[in-house]
Structure 1
């Protein structure tokens, strides 16, 4: 059986520091934000929602979902996006002509266009690292230790155990893309 590599992101542990975003930009020498950390349920960035003492802040790191059924791959007229057998959706840069068809096809809005280079950019799950047996750089640099990497087809892997034993969700399940990024929602806050 092939591997199905992906991530679990624990919103309970995410502190919204954006270390994953910075790590990604450094590791890939990119000008784009391949990972975007959104602040949820607030009216103003970095301002908690609710009324004291029941305040809360939640963050949602968003990146390529490395879908099992990636719509971006099918619409590319130049075969610039490829789904690897082990899961990651990667860009073959020399095939990309900058047509941006993939941007419109992605339901997660996580593919970026680099105008300077006339090419798209996206998370590739640090395949240059995982091919050497290393974790993606965002996993290593996460201050809250909120990002877990592994093989969903291995029932004993940490990511499989988290999905089996905790409440998790995928973004936009109605899109039918079968993402390889799962999220653990934050726990309900106790009343003081």
Structure 2
């Protein structure tokens, strides 16, 4: 996407200003006005919170396969507040990582084209050599899942193992390592894929979907019938 310096600063300013405000006004309508491409493949993931036990095998596998340095992380498993009373107290676990949005604010605000959405897969990625460290994408991301890589000094995040496992015909490292099969990955454009079939069978929600970002990370809530925003 090409734009003048004035147009870029105007659009970026709208995003950075609104990210500090709670509620549904975080992303302005013009920023998300770009049309969504129709791809032959559109990768997505489902995290079944009811199956997740919080073992963090996924985070360890991600770190190993993608050479993620200590001190930063491409994904986290966050434990909820306790539910119930002792000795019947239970916890839930949810995944925090890049949502690979159809309408990705990080892509729209990047001045150098370092933040991209791969037209062949729909995966949101970072071209490290183009990143100048301006931080616009970090500020624009409603999910706050981007970070500066301490070695490359470029923005970094989950890329569904696009350059590692996926490039070798494997599933993302987090999916391969999950002992309870809480993660399902595949082509959302293929109605016969496992991930598409799961979305037909399960009650799911998407984080902050009301912002219009159209995240491609779906979650099966802890309790049947529970819908989150």
TM-score (norm 1): 0.90
Alignment gaps of 5+ in structure 1: 43-47
Deviations 1:114-140 (A, max 9, x none): 345322110111112223321111100
Of 85, 106, 114, 2:149 maps to 114
Alignment gaps of 5+ in structure 2: 1-38, 225-229
Deviations 1:26-58 (A, max 9, x none): 111112210011111x1xxxxx33213542100
Correspondences of 1:45-124 after superposition (within 5 Å): 48-85=82-119, 86-124=121-159
Q: How many residues align?
A: 182
Q: Distance in 2 between matches of 1:122 and 1:105?
A: 14
Offset at 1:6? 1.1
**2:172 aligns to what?**
136
Deviating runs (4+, > 3 A) in structure 1?
A: none
Of 28, 32, 36, 2:76 maps to 36
Structure 2 residue matching 1:179: 3-state secondary structure: coil
Measured on the aligned residues, the alpha-carbon RMSD in Å equals: 1.4
Structure 2 residue matching 1:73: 3-state secondary structure: helix
Q: Distance in 1 between matches of 2:125 and 2:178?
A: 22
Answering whether residue 189 of structure 2 is matched by residue 149 of structure 1, we say: no
Is the 2:128–2:152 Cα contact (8 Å) retained in structure 1? no
Which structure would you say has the larger RCO, counting Cα contacts within 8 Å and 6 or more residues apart? 1
Q: Distance in 1 between matches of 2:62 and 2:219?
A: 19
TM-score (norm 2): 0.76
**1:126 aligns to what?**
161
